[in-house]
Amino acid sequence: MRVLVTGGAGYIGSHAVKVLREGGHEPIVVDNLYRGHRQAVPSEVPFYQVDLADGSALRQILARHQIECVMHFAALAYVGESVTEPLTYYANNTAGAISLLQAMRQAGVRRLVFSSTCATYGEPETVPIVESLPQNPINPYGRSKLFVERILADEAQADAEFAYVALRYFNVAGTASDASLGEDHDPETHLIPSVLFAVLGRREKIVVFGTDYPTPDGTCIRDYIHVEDLCAAHLVAMEALQPGERRIYNLGIGRGYSVREVIESAQRVTRQAVPVEYGPRRPGDPAVLFADASKIQAELGWRPQYRNIDDIVATAWNWFARHPGGYAEV
């Protein structure tokens, strides 16, 4: 299948390109390189440096390559930044998706796999989180994604042939098992790379926010899904999607690891001490968040291959130890 991958030079999008190629599909990448890396896209994969706001360019690319499906990853994803720059997030994440959908409609492309987020749930009253829980995001990032989910539902209502799947991610972690691709954000806010940066000396220490949560060790617990498992779920969802279908799935491993457990894992994997400072809680950090991903397992047979935190951290360490400066060293 010929698949347009928006944001295909980013962390998750680049891994999706790899998984698509390994699955016998033909990816074409669109990325404005605002936070993506051209080095993350193989030279043999068609690449266009195009912004989602450029509907004319998107239409031309969709038609030129006779695209059959779009995997839409292109989005800004810093929660804190979304609070201080909400208009930027709505322009990029929500309006950008509208521009893409308009181009798809004009080009006759009616299949979409959407990168959504567990942030659309906000602070759920129960865990594990199932897809039927109310969506009540508490920040502009989560709202920008929820708006897209509702726009997709409206488009499907208007066009009986339009099909989509929205995949609600939990904490994506790790890198390609062969170290061919990695994670390179600026700034880096994800826990696992931040911990590894402290090991590498790229940051002075890791700050743990809160040690008095109602969890076994007092620190927050989160669901960490390996990026290759995440992208494999996109592949099976895309291949299963039929005209007119609407699917919603959570993507996680169905259990959580605490901040302390992640730090201890990094120390085991790297065999080095992690400099840690303990601080007060951050506002809005729930104690425990993890997914119930049984729906996609039951309906599509997807299962995460990485469930042990050491295995997840090891893939990230394999990348960062070889490329401590990120893609600048590729």
Residue 44, SS3?
Answer: coil
- The distance of Cα 12 from the centroid of its chain, to the nearest Å, equals 5
pLDDT at 183: 96
Alpha-carbon torsion 323, 229, 245, 45, what sign?
A: positive
**pLDDT the model gives residue 330:** 72
Does 278 participate in catalysis according to the annotation? no
Query: What confidence score (pLDDT) does residue 79 get?
Result: 94
- Find all residues with CB under 8 Å of 130, minimum gap 6, and list them: 250, 292, 295
**HSE-up of residue 312 (Cα within 13 Å, Cβ side):** 30
**Tokens describing residue 100:** 């893409």
User: Which domains are delineated in the chain?
Assistant: 2-172+224-251 (3.40.50.720), 191-222+254-329 (3.90.25.10)
- What pLDDT does residue 328 have? 85
Residue of 97, 101, 186, 84 whose CA lies nearest to 144: 97
The DSSP output letter for 280 is P
| Residue ranges, the chain, pLDDT below 50 | none
Burial 290-328 (b: 16+ CB within 10 A, else e): bbbbebbeeebebebebeebeebbbbbbbbbeebeebbe
CA nearest 282: which of 212, 205, 216, 224? Answer: 212
Backbone angles phi, psi at 48, to 5 degrees: -130, 125
- Please report the pLDDT score of residue 216 as a whole number: 97
**Can you give the pLDDT at residue 67?**
98
- Render 117-183 in DSSP notation, one character per residue: EGGGG-S-SSSSB-TTSPP--SSHHHHHHHHHHHHHHHHHHH-TT-EEEEEEE-EEE---TTSSS--
C-alpha distances (whole Å) from 318 to each of 8, 219, 321 are: 22, 26, 6
Residue 284: per-residue pLDDT: 80
pLDDT of residue 19: 98
Measured CA to CA, the distance from residue 223 to residue 95 in angstroms comes to 29
pLDDT at 66: 98
| Predicted local confidence at residue 329, as pLDDT | 76
Alpha carbon distance 29, 49 (integer Å): 8
Per-residue pLDDT, 282: 86
CA distances, 209 to each of 60, 88, 139, 216, 279 (Å): 47, 27, 19, 16, 5
Q: Which residues, at least 6 apart from 123, have a Cβ–Cβ distance to it below 8 Å?
A: 136, 138, 284, 286
- Which listed residue (141, 213, 224, 306) is catalytic? 141
- For residue 122, the tally of other CB atoms under 10 A from its CB is 19
